[in-house]
Amino acid sequence: MAILTIIKDGDPTLRKHSRPVTEITPRIIRLIDDMRDTLKKSGGVGLAAVQVGVLRRVVLVEDAEGKVLELINPEIIAREGEQHELEGCLSVPDKWGITDRPEKVTVRALDREGKEFTVSGEGLTARCFCHELDHLEGILFSDHARMLTEEELEAMTEEE
């Protein structure tokens, strides 16, 4: 597999809407596999295809158990509660902010065989679902987060 280049804020591709996957082809499978390798190397917990320059509705999310979920044409079908936590993004390096997200999220998607499934996540996994699905709409976490610098992060951590 290949390690793909993660595009950064300022690249106009990040602001575009991703198109649905109409057929799961070998190219889509290769994209998912390459995204998996890229995510692993990046140290992140989620990656949308648009972040590697592909405008397709494909997302990977690492759940609380460390399993990487492959989501094709994902959509959020339920949200519960709320959380206000620190969030960052591989495409917005060295920037962090507090975001308001649901505490629990349920997503419906297709797997690599084209079978529909639903999956729920809480806490970080729920936040990651929302974050990555926002990418598919051209939305970055920084659009609705209170931004902090790295120095503020360190000071915030020391106070806790």
The catalytic residues are 132
> Are 47 and 60 contacting, i.e. CB atoms less than 8 angstroms apart?
yes
